[in-house]
Amino acid sequence: MKTHNLKCWPEFFEKLMTGEKTFDIRLNDRDYQVGDTVKMREYNPDTREYTGRGMDFNIKYITKGLHGQLGVNTIVMQLEPAMVLGFQAGAEKKVDDVIKSLAQNKILRCNADITVSKDGERMNIDVNRVLEQL
């Protein structure tokens, strides 16, 4: 599985972050495959600079060609937000930081819960419930 670093214009990036847009149409110049990770980085084409916001997605499904409806080498990728978090000692602080970061980036939904292990005791945090309370 590969990781693809991609530019994404602000109007599309915002829709991906909120979950309103769950797909991306691209030229298949990178041999995208189901299971690959796409690192979307918001890019402002007017200033030609990255905004600093980014989000990772997993490719769940790819449609190619569609009987001539898409260009020969154009695909539609179904994307699912990917979040990989690792916690060490002092995890409570890191969980707070993650949730604050989600809120600051206007992430309204998260398709994963956070599991924290402290002294052998596991604690699950329902991220969506926390985000709804912010």
**Residue whose structure tokens are 């260009």:** 71
More confident residue, 107 or 66: 66
Which one-letter DSSP state was computed for residue 94? H
> Residue 54: which residues within 8 A CB-CB, separation 6 or more?
39, 40, 41, 42
Which pLDDT score, from 0 to 100, does residue 84 have?
46
Distances from the Cα of 95 to the Cαs of 48, 57, 129, in angstroms?
Answer: 33, 20, 14
**Torsion sign over Cα 44, 40, 126, 18:** positive
Which pLDDT score, from 0 to 100, does residue 18 have?
81
- The pLDDT tens digits for 12-57 are 998 888 888 999 999 989 999 999 999 999 999 999 999 888 888 9
Which pLDDT score, from 0 to 100, does residue 54 have?
87
CA distance 24 to 30: 14
The CATH architecture that domain 3-81 belongs to is: Roll (2.30)
Domain ranges of the chain: 3-81, 91-133
Under 8 Å between Cβ of 8 and 42: yes
- The pLDDT tens digits for 87-99 are 343 444 455 666 6
Which pLDDT score, from 0 to 100, does residue 68 have?
60
111 three-state secondary structure = coil
> Residue 126: which residues within 8 A CB-CB, separation 6 or more?
113
